[in-house]
Amino acid sequence: MGDSTMAQLGSTALNNSSPKKVAYFYDSDIGNYAYVTGHPMKPHRIRLAHSLIMQYNLYQKMEIYRAKPATRGEMTQFHTDDYIDFLQKVTPDNMDSYMREQGKYNVGDDCPVFDGLFEFCGISAGGSMEGAARLNRQKCDIAINWAGGLHHAKKSEASGFCYVNDIVLGILELLRFKKRVLYIDIDVHHGDGVEEAFYTTDRVMTVSFHKYGEYFPGTGELRDIGIGQGKNYAVNFPLRDGITDESYKSIFEPVIENVMKYFQPEAVVLQCGGDSLSGDRLGCFNLSMDGHANCVNYVKSFGLPTLVLGGGGYTMRNVARTWAFETGVLVGQNMDRTLPYNEYYEYYAPDFELNVRSSNMENSNSREYLEKIKAAVVDNLRQTGPAPSVQMQDVPRKPFGGMTDEEEAELDDLDEDENKDVRMSEHQWDKHIENKAEFEPSDDDDHARANGATRDSGSKRTFTDFGAEENSELDGKRSKNGGAEANGAEVVADEGNDPDDTIDDIAVNEQAEKDVVSEKEQAKETPKETVDSDGDVGMADSTTAEDSTTIKKEDAEPEVLKTSATIDEPDVAKKTSDKAEADKPSETEDKAKEAETPKEPKETADKPTDKGESEAMEVDQPKDDADKGKEEKTGDSGKENATSGKGAEEGKKEEEKKGDGKP
């Protein structure tokens, strides 16, 4: 074809066109999926097309969206539950466990199991359904989803590299608001999956231009026109190898014109399979990029809400260039034929041009053959009669189906925790709405903490720490949490204290301090009066201090015996006795203290407050332990006599010796 003809076809992009509001759907994750090594279907081609679209600044004339992936509930509006459940569960690792299901659902050869199969289907179907929904809401005039157009998938079967039929799902969404929907397929293969879905209805007319004969899928004969209420609403135009731009235009425009005349659709779905281009790996047509784009421009000229989808196409560089050019046709922008530099620039060697040329392939479609088929198709369209009417009914506000909480949770967990090396999808990154470093300590805080200017969170001090500072200075040792080390008993701070536990500890310590203060005040207020041998208070006594001490020791002896017989912790007793021996007062002080009546308050008041040990003895120690402490102060010999079970007489003799100051 000459350059003049190419320029004429290319200029049609700007003819008879008014500004349209275009919505463009693209998900960057789509290019991450790969069928299997050596498979002709390569989702990476969509990423190439998107790169060209952005480099040509076409985004300035359309709105770009990333649709939410279709859910299981949305897919089952057309497909069976069992089939979708199988696609959701099967993986390359467990596919051996689903051998029977693979045969049942035709998964394995042309439609292999690959990583992320269900997610790939969700992205493809989600863009088509969201595009149809925006057309219904009149948010746009044209919706584009190059990741869609998988027209071979059946209700419960995969076919022709297609698993989920996003086209059928998009048409079903359009039918919620539109009375009649027209489907046009310019893929080299017959759109059998879409035709089969709407073969018995008059609300959807399917029109397919495809290679027929010894060619996949082997359907799409001229006589296949639908059945029942859908009779004459399935249009098939079988073609032979090597059709050119002029021949294709001579049949496409008259047929679509008659379809618009008799069917009068309210919306159009256009499948733009790129395998009808010249030089495709699997195709056998001879269309150039301009001839292919002419079909897009002609459908656009009717001004109907249009959903434009991708499809086949197995020579990536040609598919990417054609879809980018057709995007420019839809937004009404004339595009430079010299490709702008982009991240996939080397794919377009050696010419680096925005063009796919026809070859010298022989055209097997004679003029007589094409005219004969065209006449039969138009005759079938006349038999459709007036445009079918549709009874109006309430339309649900939300699409049918939806995602349950369990399905949302399962979708959120995909690839997040199982394999840390797997990259996160764009949808997963969208859930991180806050800055990851927002709640992390800054470098300045770390530097200050290293220099001792900031106290670690595990070293927070409690209220009782400040009351023990004076005693801790004498010991010269402090534990990490500010507490003193008493008698070699090391106090270790818990770095991970729970806030509730810390509050409880503070409350206990505060109560202990209150008890100590109250006992001190009580000791100060109590008058110090002497008691004679007869028990009289404030009266002279002829008995010497030594006799008084002996009598008081005899009174306390039975209680000491009872206390010593119930001791279960000899280590604690030994430690307490050692401390008592070390703190033993002089003989004169001992006599003065023993002459005082309220012994326990006085003894408590004179003792220093020690956080490590004294508080625990004063708060938690029962009365028996307090009496035991008094007995231990009398010396090791009295303790041994008491704990060995000796009688009161032996204890009395020992105490008399102690009172005389003898060793």
Task: Enter the tokens of residue 599.
Answer: 């012994």
Active-site choice (50, 151, 152, 189)? 152
| C-alpha span between 639 and 632 (Å, rounded) | 6
| C-alpha span between 425 and 261 (Å, rounded) | 46
Q: 209-255 pLDDT, tens per residue?
A: 999 999 999 999 999 999 999 999 999 999 999 999 999 999 999 99
Maximum average pLDDT range among 346-350, 412-416, 478-482, 546-550: 346-350
pLDDT at 608: 43
**Are the beta carbons of 596 and 468 closer than 8 angstroms?**
no
- Higher pLDDT pick, 509 / 534: 509
pLDDT at 20: 84
pLDDT at 109: 87
Q: Is the pLDDT score of 529 beyond 90? A: no
The number of beta carbons lying within 10 Å of the beta carbon of residue 641 is 24
Q: Is the pLDDT score of 628 beyond 80? A: no
- Higher pLDDT pick, 266 / 511: 266
Binned at pLDDT 50, 70 and 90, residue 16 comes out as very low
**Are the beta carbons of 638 and 655 closer than 8 angstroms?**
yes
What 3-state DSSP class applies to 54?
Answer: helix
Q: 146-162 pLDDT, tens per residue?
A: 999 999 999 999 999 99
Concerning whether 151 is annotated as a catalytic residue, the answer is: no
What 3-state DSSP class applies to 619?
Answer: helix
Q: Is the pLDDT score of 434 beyond 80? A: no
What 3-state DSSP class applies to 338?
Answer: strand
Residue 547 neighbours by CB under 8 Å, 6+ apart = 533
Q: Smallest Cα–Cα separation from 426: which of 41, 23, 26?
A: 26
pLDDT at 523: 60
Judge if the upstream peptide bond of residue 350 is cis by omega within 30 degrees of 0: yes
Binned at pLDDT 50, 70 and 90, residue 462 comes out as very low
Domains of the chain: 3-68+124-387 (3.40.800.20), 530-659 (no CATH)
**Are the beta carbons of 209 and 175 closer than 8 angstroms?**
no
- Higher pLDDT pick, 69 / 429: 69
The average confidence (pLDDT) of the chain is 76
Q: 465-515 pLDDT, tens per residue?
A: 444 444 544 455 444 444 444 444 444 444 444 545 555 555 666 667 777
Q: Is the pLDDT score of 318 beyond 80? A: yes
Judge if the upstream peptide bond of residue 598 is cis by omega within 30 degrees of 0: no
- Token match 């499809």: residue? 311
Percent of the chain scored above 90 by pLDDT?
Answer: 54
Residue 659 neighbours by CB under 8 Å, 6+ apart = 546, 549, 550
| C-alpha span between 1 and 490 (Å, rounded) | 95
- In whole angstroms, how large is the CA radius of gyration of the chain? 47
What 3-state DSSP class applies to 219?
Answer: coil
Q: 637-651 pLDDT, tens per residue?
A: 444 444 444 455 555
Q: Smallest Cα–Cα separation from 552: which of 564, 529, 535?
A: 535
Distances (CA, A) of 377 to 63, 108, 440, 583: 38, 37, 70, 117
User: Of 67-76, 118-127, 466-475, which range is least confident?
Assistant: 466-475
Q: What angle do CA 490, 495, 497 make, to 5 degrees?
A: 105
Q: Is the pLDDT score of 463 beyond 50? A: no
Strands laid side by side in the 234-239 sheet: 63-65, 22-25, 142-145, 306-309, 267-271, 181-185, 204-211, 234-239
pLDDT at 186: 98
Q: 360-417 pLDDT, tens per residue?
A: 999 999 999 999 999 999 999 999 877 766 665 555 555 444 455 565 566 555 545 5
Q: Is the pLDDT score of 548 beyond 80? A: no
pLDDT at 485: 43
| C-alpha span between 292 and 303 (Å, rounded) | 19
- Answer whether 0.75 is exceeded by the pTM: no
Q: What angle do CA 572, 573, 574 make, to 5 degrees?
A: 90
Q: Is the pLDDT score of 279 beyond 80? A: yes
Beta bridge partners of 308: 144, 270
Q: Is the pLDDT score of 331 beyond 60? A: yes
Q: Is the pLDDT score of 655 beyond 90? A: no
